Structure 1
């Protein structure tokens, strides 16, 4: 089953620009969850509202960049994949730093949410890096 899922992912990513669609939709979901779910229930998660808004704004910018790369013609997809991969890594580093900084006020639900978010983004970064390393000739 796992091989089948990996084969489907590899097949989908055969077109390099599709990584931007996945990244953009993921960034949209992140921004949406931060604003629509975590912000109104910030006490249940323990992260301050202003921090949630900052994270959602960053996710929104990453979404615009990724979807722009997907829908607009780009000459060098490799540099754009490298840029969004680095931006995703920096977002994860920022989020991890915020987990540490606000650890005393974070709830278990908040720690779980942000840990799952980082894990999901890091899986995407893995595929972005794989894409860059497999297609060096293009």
Structure 2
């Protein structure tokens, strides 16, 4: 069951990348440039690929992979926060809301993943 957390992470990262792509298409609504979004999009898709690969091929070492993706998710949250702060003046209320919600969800997931990985059972 705990290994399925990698599958959940993979699906979530994939949808995060899709939603970021959608945001990039509406620069005037969200206030974040398409160029910045396109640079950020790479991370969720790479994380999704990593998580699904770990889910499929690492039956016994899943705690190590969950820790890795959790730390990567937290670093991504830091990067997203920095980008949000740097571009705060251009972001609309919807843009700020989008990034804050993404950071909250991803942080909660990452801390949960770390907690589960510590248990190992």
Q: State the shift of 1:42 in Å.
A: 1.4
2:53 maps to 68
How far residue 74 of structure 1 moved from its aligned partner, in angstroms, is: 4.4
TM-score by length of 2: 0.94
**TM-score normalized by the length of structure 1:** 0.83
Alignment of 1:1-138 (within 5 A): 15-35=1-21, 37-135=22-120
Where structure 2 has 5 or more consecutive residues not aligned to the other structure, the ranges are: none
Cα distance in 2 between the residues matched to 1:126 and 1:58: 19
RMSD between aligned residues: 1.2
- For residues 132 and 49 of structure 1, the distance between their equivalents in structure 2, rounded to whole angstroms, comes to 36
Number of aligned positions between the proteins: 121
TM superposition outliers: structure 1 runs of 4+ over 4 Å: none
Tell me the distance in 2 between the aligned counterparts of 1:120 and 1:106: 20
**Structure of larger gyration radius:** 1
Could you list the runs of 5+ residues in structure 1 that have no partner in the other structure?
Answer: 1-14
Q: How far did 1:75 drift? A: 4.1
Distance 1:74 1:101 in 2: 41
